[in-house]
Copies of this chain bind each other. A is one copy, B any other.
Amino acid sequence: MSTPIPFAHAGRALAAAALVALSAPAFAQSNVTVFGVLDVGVQQLTNGSKRLNLMSIDGLQTSRLGFRGTEDLGDGMSASFHLEGALSPDTGGSSLDFRRRSTVGLAKKGMGELRIGRDYTPTFWSISRFNAFGTNGVGAASNLLYGFDGLSSTASSVVRASNSVGYHLPDTLGGVYGQAMYAFGEGAPGKYAGARIGYANKDLDVAAAYSTTENNAAGDDFKVTNLGGSYKFGDARVMVLLHRSEQTTRKQDGWSLGGTYSLGLTTLRASVTRAHYTNSVGSVDYSGNQIAFGAVHALSKRTSLYATISRVANSSGAKYVIPGGNTVSAGQGSRGTEAGIYHTF
């Protein structure tokens, strides 16, 4: 009677088979992996004519703390869980939640995995995978591709979706991979449906994804389409990405081209990204470019130092910007330089 799990008193209170299902996790330690990332650095951001020196975080990977585990159920089946929340190592805040990912999964060998909870959307992955800077740091392709002027912020599904059921193809399809996700709206905006399909071998990786998110009114669905790929030539990997976001009268087309080059423990990174935003109401027509260079130096498998420089240029009406600094006026540019340490555990 000392455990707070209802039914656990059930050594006496429930039939034995129920106990199997409901027993308390008394011998559970080995089932859990505690993992995380801390990524902290210093950054200088110059937005328009305003310069700011900052302690920065997440320049290479997003800082996080998580708990996960997998249980073998026999017959090729397994159950798993994954809880992961963001950290802000510069300030120690804010409070820990598990909004990066919070899922329970049920998988069968050769059949794939069913995953329930809050998870990354299929359309998210290509920005992360087919750009050398992904969605982190001053050179992130997402600086431009996430859009602005509310194009993506009105939908909650650009990166993740709550209340979702996802299906992931098994890894036994000769290189074909894919996933589909449906997320409940629960009577409020946010209902999401999306899918991603790809093919990868030792050198090549290509994928396409599409999603639609229900917003407030009929016909205002937020839609994302992307297509990307990477190819390995010796020590180099070249990456290309096409990305489109649409909602009612607003549309943004973007692309990025870049890659990585390995020099042993040091990896060089480079990326050019362009976005072109239009709004047929008022004939708004904006575009922005970003060019970024960087290097990652591995001190070990778990710890790296990195440095990145990036520059965003805008057309006369556009306000694309490296996030975290001052706001820019239309047409102003943004420059960022950062150096940091990445440590995973």
Cβ B237 vs Cβ A14 within 8 A? yes
Residues of B contacting A25 in the complex (Cβ-Cβ under 8 angstroms)? 35-37, 302, 344-345
Is A184 part of the contact surface with B, judged by Cβ < 8 Å?
A: yes
Considering only CB atoms and an 8 Å cut-off, how many residues of chain A contact the other chain? Answer: 133
Residues facing B in A22-69 (CB within 8 A) are 22-25, 28-29, 31-42, 52-55, 60-61, 65, 67, 69
Is A89 part of the contact surface with B, judged by Cβ < 8 Å?
A: yes
A110, chain B: closest CB distance, angstroms: 15
A262, chain B: closest CB distance, angstroms: 4
Cβ B262 vs Cβ A16 within 8 A? yes
Cβ B15 vs Cβ A235 within 8 A? yes
Cα A294 to Cα B274 in complex, Å, equals: 55
Knowing A7-B134, A179-B1 touch, does A36 contact B67 (C-beta < 8 A)?
A: yes
Q: Which of the residues B9, B71, B267, B301 comes within 8 Å of A303, measured between beta carbons?
A: B71
Cα A71 to Cα B297 in complex, Å, equals: 16
Is A321 part of the contact surface with B, judged by Cβ < 8 Å?
A: no
Interface flags for A70-90 (1: CB within 8 Å of B; 0: not) read 010110010111111101111
Cβ B84 vs Cβ A4 within 8 A? yes
Chain B minimum-CB-distance residue to A304: B21
Is A151 part of the contact surface with B, judged by Cβ < 8 Å?
A: no
Cβ B92 vs Cβ A98 within 8 A? yes
Is A106 part of the contact surface with B, judged by Cβ < 8 Å?
A: yes
Chain B minimum-CB-distance residue to A269: B18
Is A111 part of the contact surface with B, judged by Cβ < 8 Å?
A: no
Which one of A9, A85, A342 has the highest number of Cβ atoms from chain B below 10 Å of its Cβ?
Answer: A9
Cβ B200 vs Cβ A12 within 8 A? yes
Cβ B100 vs Cβ A4 within 8 A? yes
Cβ B15 vs Cβ A302 within 8 A? no
Q: Which of the residues B7, B83, B230 comes within 8 Å of A61, measured between beta carbons?
A: B7
Q: Which of the residues B32, B90, B201 comes within 8 Å of A117, measured between beta carbons?
A: B90
Residues of B contacting A200 in the complex (Cβ-Cβ under 8 angstroms)? 12-13
A91, chain B: closest CB distance, angstroms: 4
Residues of B contacting A129 in the complex (Cβ-Cβ under 8 angstroms)? 6-7, 9-10, 13
Is A177 part of the contact surface with B, judged by Cβ < 8 Å?
A: yes
Cβ A296 vs Cβ B7 within 8 A? no
Cβ A15 vs Cβ B262 within 8 A? yes
Knowing A1-B179, A14-B260, A21-B296 touch, does A91 contact B81 (C-beta < 8 A)?
A: no
Residues of B contacting A299 in the complex (Cβ-Cβ under 8 angstroms)? 73, 77, 79
Chain B minimum-CB-distance residue to A266: B17
A135, chain B: closest CB distance, angstroms: 6
Q: Which of the residues B79, B106, B113, B304 comes within 8 Å of A302, measured between beta carbons?
A: B79
Cα A262 to Cα B21 in complex, Å, equals: 11
Cβ A205 vs Cβ B163 within 8 A? no
Chain B minimum-CB-distance residue to A119: B4
Residues of B contacting A243 in the complex (Cβ-Cβ under 8 angstroms)? none
Knowing A69-B345, A265-B20 touch, does A87 contact B98 (C-beta < 8 A)?
A: yes
Which 3 residue pairs across A and B have the least CB separation, nearest first? Answer: A6-B128, A95-B95, A15-B262
